[in-house]
Amino acid sequence: MAKWDIEPAGVRGVVIRTQAAGQGFEKAGRSYAGGARGAAGSAGSPLVTLALQSFAKHHRRTLTGLVDKTVASLTAAVEATNAYLDGDLEMAERAQRHGATTNGVHKQLPRR
């Protein structure tokens, strides 16, 4: 049986730091997009404009994919941690119920 050792506070810290770092990437992405449009519009050469547009189009999926994968990873980490915590609470409650039974007499334990 697999043994889990998840520290929810640690997961929370990683998620918060990653979100903060991601905000910097978002700002850089907007700056890049504006700069690319400006460069393409000011190139003065149809060939350079086409090259800049092609470059941006080629890398658009990669850049948006980075954001999408980061968000998906953070979401999965939070959901997995919540499931872990829910499982811990369910297991604890089950153990508490079973552990409170002595000689066929079930003792009622207070719920949190």
**Residue 98's pLDDT is what?**
65
3-state secondary structure the chain: CCCCCCCHHHHHHHHHHHHHHHHHHHHHHHHHHHHHHHHHHHCCCHHHHHHHHHHHHHHHHHHHHHHHHHHHHHHHHHHHHHHHHHHHHHHHHHHHHHHCEECCEECCCCCC
Domain count, the chain: 1
Residue 31 lies in a domain: yes
Residue 33 lies in a domain: yes
Residue 83 lies in a domain: yes
Mean pLDDT by 10 residues, the chain (112 residues): 74 91 82 86 89 88 84 86 79 65 47 46
**Residue 60's pLDDT is what?**
84
pTM of the model: 0.60
**Residue 12's pLDDT is what?**
92
Residue 5 lies in a domain: no
Residue 70 lies in a domain: yes
Residue 52 lies in a domain: yes
Domain boundaries, position 79 = 12-99
**Residue 108's pLDDT is what?**
45
